[in-house]
């Protein structure tokens, strides 16, 4: 009977410990939205065990996959801050890409797919609208200044004052 109680006691302790398992969360310093194809997306990944404790000594892997099946892996390198790993990700072509991170601890974290733009598209990279607004404001200010300076009357001279008296 004592052996049976001992086995049951060990089972009661061991089963919850074995089923608790480990899990981690992964936070990103930025998202890839707006990254043109061929450009670098620099991202820091913060990996926390149970969402609290920084995981050190791991190598998380960020994988990008295009709809057509093309995929690339980027291994995170330690940044010097506990639990924070850095990767420079390059999307080789435009299109819809999904990305996920193997936390090198317990699971793969999947993120919402992102649309990557074409390289060299002037509309995506050159700030035409802000530049146009700034130019319009500068021209308006210059025109207003010129109009103001032309309307000011010239100061009276000493000879003008004698004629009045």
Q: Is residue 114 one of the residues assigned to a domain?
A: yes
Which band of pLDDT confidence, cut at 50, 70 and 90, is reported for residue 21?
low
Angle (CA) 96 101 106, round 5°: 145
Q: How many CB atoms lie within 10 A of CB 57?
A: 7
Helix (H) or strand (E) holding 6, with range, is helix 2-20
Domain carrying residue 6: 2-121
Q: Is residue 161 one of the residues assigned to a domain?
A: no
Both 69 and 96 in one domain: the answer is: yes
Both 117 and 145 in one domain: the answer is: no
Both 128 and 115 in one domain: the answer is: no
Q: What is the pTM of this model?
A: 0.61
Selection from 116, 8, 17 nearest residue 67 by Cα:
116
The predicted model gives 48-66 an average pLDDT of 96
Which band of pLDDT confidence, cut at 50, 70 and 90, is reported for residue 147?
confident
Q: How many domains does the chain have?
A: 2
Selection from 163, 37, 15 nearest residue 94 by Cα:
37
Tell me the three state secondary structure of residue 113: strand
């Amino acid at each position: 009977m004592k052996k049976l109680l001992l086995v049951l006691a060990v089972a009661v302790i061991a089963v919850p410990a074995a089923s608790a398992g480990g899990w981690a969360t992964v936070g990103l310093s930025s998202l890839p939205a707006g990254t043109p194809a061929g450009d670098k997306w620099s991202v820091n990944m913060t990996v926390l065990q149970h969402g609290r404790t920084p995981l050190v000594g791991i190598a998380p892997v960020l994988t990008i996959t295009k709809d057509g099946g093309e995929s690339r892996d980027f291994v995170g390198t330690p940044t010097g801050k506990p639990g924070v790993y850095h990767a420079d990700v390059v999307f080789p072509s435009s299109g819809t890409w999904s990305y996920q991170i193997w936390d090198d601890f317990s699971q793969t974290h999947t993120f919402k797919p992102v649309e990557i733009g074409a390289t060299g598209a002037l509309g995506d990279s050159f700030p035409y609208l802000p530049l146009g607004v700034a130019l319009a404001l500068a021209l308006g200010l210059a025109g207003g200044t010129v109009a103001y300076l032309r309307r000011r009357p010239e100061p009276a001279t000493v000879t003008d004052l004698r004629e009045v008296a």
